[in-house]
Structure 1
């Protein structure tokens, strides 16, 4: 029988379990073997939809939950249904509905980004974002969302949360995160806000390097701490811990700590136990961010890091590197006393408690995943209409210092259309599909559209003797303004987890798509992703932020550029890229 830790009170928020539900937790815990207990602390990243693969994940590794790679909703739903049918204890099934259903499933609705919802004048657009994301992921069988993101985008150079934060101050983050949580909760899913102790101070990406929140205890409490206090009080059930160190916070609790001893929060008991459990009073479940991220792996050898994360205060471990080895590392940590029996059972109480709070313990096994017809909500007309209305409110005019707008088919009929494309991110989404949509929407508005092709694209189409000098000579001809009446540049520079920062990368040296033509014709740049492009294109006098590369966002941007509707979105100071001279001109 486990030794109950008095710190875990399943009867109070965020679990709020009845005596019967608490009895199920206790009975289930006492029935688990050590192997089953170990498995409950892991979330597996399912990289295959093969049933034999799932058999090993659920039956052999006995995991507490799964997260899947993106695919069509029908494929994912069948996958989750099979996994739940094989699990001894019902599974937590996680998703990343940061932008709606998109990202979790290939046919999901892309509503907007967190930044788009934070830039809308209507706080309820954050609710609508959570509502669509929750409904679409619940339809496939998910019950746990790794959202909302409650980081504060204070450093304009930070691009890992550049579009994944509601804004640059605690007030907007608190307001919009609560509304997102309200919308998500309508689906019955639990939320995991992220990334404690808070991203947005460092400019780097913890996928590739440990990053740091360097605020002192008082300043952190007035900003990030206030966000976490308010959302904890609001009822958020779980918190994802970033591989983010906090030197001043750690030393506040451990004054003797040296620089070399500062660890990312996932390995820092002073941040998880003294701060998060102690000062902030969080009673819910704590989960690590993905454990393959270099921000975690550079800190300790894997054999030490796995048990150290649980010992530090994490209740669940996100993703195996090698299932058998990671479970063996945790078992060794228990055997050698790094993870005490009390700490193990405390974590298990919270894992099982979260499952019970979702009603998984009393739901018939064949009803844990909705029927196939539930998929009709995904990409539905209702959700597309929500995406369109949110985009209409969110699209923002950052600057128009040359009074370029409106551009209409009557005043500027011939458009030269350029695309600035970043790399595909780890979801594998085509980063260049937006340009066809932009062409279609401009033609729909009545423009004659001429799409620019760079040297690499022209060579790929079989053109011989083409390189960047010849393309520049062709493009920068003396009759440019006689051929085109205006230039529109759509930038979809996305991606993280491969580099510490993300900026515009031109196709070639002195590429012909760089806005040299701003002195020739009126030029408008539309960002479909990052908010910091003025650092690279300060010469552009008109900048529109549309936030996402969806048809709804692009259509709304075109309608506002032509004057068919008004801009209502707002922006924060990050768009000016700090004190960089020239961005406001």
Structure 2
């Protein structure tokens, strides 16, 4: 308690951390009418305060495990109103001279209590009386001294009130957000709970610290795995994709050498693809949301579960529950089920139910939600800028629904949420806004508290600049766990990060209570999968299980989904159908974003397109850029010569139609993805739309019309797979109907894209 500027929020938060309990700023409980009055410089009346004080008391009363709450509580009658709800409340009065208080209030920004109200608050203040449980601490000294004095005073006050030490009364395990092993999503039986507790008790400190890490395995050799497991005792791993047989053997060896069974993660966002080189690409998330048949998402999840379980994986970093509100956001443009919370909830539940048919836990991502900002948190911190009420109606709705549906873990994005943070920490300065991975108000107050999530929380990849730009590595590694994350995704440098985490525990950044709560959740997730019941040799299926990966049955599912989801975005010139009988000669252009970190040929898909067109009876003339022709040994070509050669008046005499297939990808290297043409004023840009019927087909991004608004026929095929390309060509020819749907993002908020 105390007047504005005394440090209630700062000291309260630090005291709460030391006690191992939740911190809540009472200002966040004010109704909007009170906030508006204070922001206007109008003192509150008692009639304004009574409902608020009742709410403050109710919050304290409900926090059976302990709570530190900041509230001015200036008058005895106000404190009595709080005590009426919560009789055991201890008041800590942060006292300062008028000079100290004025200096601090004048130095603050972004808070709704202007310094002019200090005089009225001091006039209102009534000191603690002898019969009130409480202590007074002078705020003139350094913060660490104020906190130390506060803790000592609290210990004495609680001992006097209940006859026992303060930490036993307030800070013991069992606080509001401690894990409940018996509740969802773990639902452990007594034997599993015993395994969790005995395993935890058997660990050395280094083994406990190691369980917090998920390693990215960059090497398949036994020597590499021996070093990771023996030196760092990791709790989980995510392997580098490769052939399924090599991946499975890698996982089998890792499980055989680990003291505690490993959580083995994969990224089955599109089916089995991405988890191993020969896995089945079933659909993207957007594709699974682009047809009325919601079972598409379930079948995607089913194939993902079957194929990853055959590898020995037990943890899926999916589904993605972001909402694609901003068409400029190309991070999740294909990785979100859609642009409304309703479609995201419906399809995410279907995916979860499908993959849950296999022994797999899910980690939905990326809390607090991507899709508002246009930037990629792989290369910069991005932000979800929605206010508290709007967030609750959208992203909050999705998370509540999925938590209620049983999702076991949540991956936290390196995404800031300024308005959400300020809802729980009023007055938080812009410079103090942190990505969710470092924000206890988002992880504890919101995700654990208001959303009631009892499962495991993990960070997104820790090499992402959205996290690393926030603070020094030595500080941020333990800070993620202190803020409320339970596992840390990927070492940057294993020796350094392990030591940073260990140092963070030894220095008190990570409390004993926070460490053990995280470990119980990690072990509980493992027990919920039954890993503790299996012999080490049974944690990974036999080699014969790999037969399901890329099977004919799974490819047939992919083909059926591809046929259903190819979407005709527009055909305003009525160019379709285009058939060999009427448009024999096709000029074929391919567009890519250039090579990415996978080093795969970005134009390899064009061979498939050309082959499928020729099988259909077309005569295909493939355009090649100046760079391609030079690479083939041709001399004397440049972008001007290509333009003059390609853009001639007899274009329509040479070709009957033009097809442009774009497979533009990009990941973790740029903040946004757009078409990049091969040269200035490139010859492949659709200048030819006025010459011949032109069809533009996107095999990936849904936002290309912003760069090719001149095309009159646009198709979104979602994927560069044989199945998607074959289905698209069949529909261009009129052999089957377009069934896919799309949302307004495809038009990129521009009128000319609809023409």
Question: Does the TM-score normalized on the shorter chain lie above 0.5?
Answer: yes
Query: Given the alignment, which residue of 415, 428, 448 partners 1:277?
Result: 448
Within 2, Cα distance between the matches of 1:568 and 1:436? Answer: 26
- Whether 1:172 and 2:343 are equivalent positions in the alignment is yes
- CA shift in 2, pair 1:427/1:187, >3 Å: farther
Contact 1:94 1:142 in 2 (8 A): yes
Deviations 1:133-185 (A, max 9, x none): 11111111100000000000000000000100000000000000000001111
Query: Given the alignment, which residue of 450, 473, 495 partners 1:302?
Result: 473
Within 1, Cα distance between the matches of 2:414 and 2:471? Answer: 12
Shift of 1:559: 0.8
Within 1, Cα distance between the matches of 2:615 and 2:285? Answer: 28
Partner of 1:463: 634
**Structure 1 residues 565-576: aligned runs within 5 Å:** 565-576=736-747
Within 2, Cα distance between the matches of 1:209 and 1:424? Answer: 21
Shift of 1:89: 0.2
- CA shift in 2, pair 1:121/1:430, >3 Å: farther
Partner of 2:559: 388
Partner of 1:563: 734
SS for the counterpart of 1:191 is strand
Within 1, Cα distance between the matches of 2:599 and 2:342? Answer: 34
- Whether 1:318 and 2:492 are equivalent positions in the alignment is no
Partner of 1:582: 752
**Structure 1 residues 200-279: aligned runs within 5 Å:** 200-279=371-450
- Matched residues, number: 583
Contact 1:43 1:66 in 2 (8 A): yes
- CA shift in 2, pair 1:276/1:23, >3 Å: same
Within 2, Cα distance between the matches of 1:185 and 1:44? Answer: 24
SS for the counterpart of 2:751 is coil
- CA shift in 2, pair 1:16/1:226, >3 Å: same
Partner of 2:180: 9
- Whether 1:438 and 2:609 are equivalent positions in the alignment is yes
Query: Given the alignment, which residue of 274, 282, 290 partners 1:119?
Result: 290
Deviations 1:550-577 (A, max 9, x none): 1101111111111111001100010010
- Whether 1:524 and 2:704 are equivalent positions in the alignment is no
Shift of 1:3: 6.9
Deviations 1:53-105 (A, max 9, x none): 01011121110011011111011001000000100000000000011111111
Query: Given the alignment, which residue of 334, 346, 355 partners 2:505?
Result: 334
Shift of 1:245: 0.1
Contact 1:121 1:393 in 2 (8 A): no
Query: Given the alignment, which residue of 375, 393, 406 partners 2:546?
Result: 375
Partner of 1:50: 221
Partner of 1:514: 685
Within 2, Cα distance between the matches of 1:97 and 1:529? Answer: 17
Contact 1:193 1:240 in 2 (8 A): yes
Within 2, Cα distance between the matches of 1:214 and 1:351? Answer: 31
- CA shift in 2, pair 1:195/1:285, >3 Å: same
Return 5+ residue gaps in structure 1 as ranges: none
- State which structure, 1 or 2, has the greater radius of gyration over its C-alpha atoms: 2
Shift of 1:428: 3.9
Shift of 1:308: 0.4
Partner of 2:314: 143
Cα-Cα RMSD: 1.0
Within 2, Cα distance between the matches of 1:5 and 1:78? Answer: 41
Q: Which has the higher contact order (CA 8 A, sep 6+)?
A: 1
SS for the counterpart of 1:582 is helix
Give the TM-score taking structure 2 as reference length. 0.77
Within 2, Cα distance between the matches of 1:168 and 1:354? Answer: 31
Shift of 1:5: 4.0
Query: Given the alignment, which residue of 406, 417, 420 partners 2:588?
Result: 417
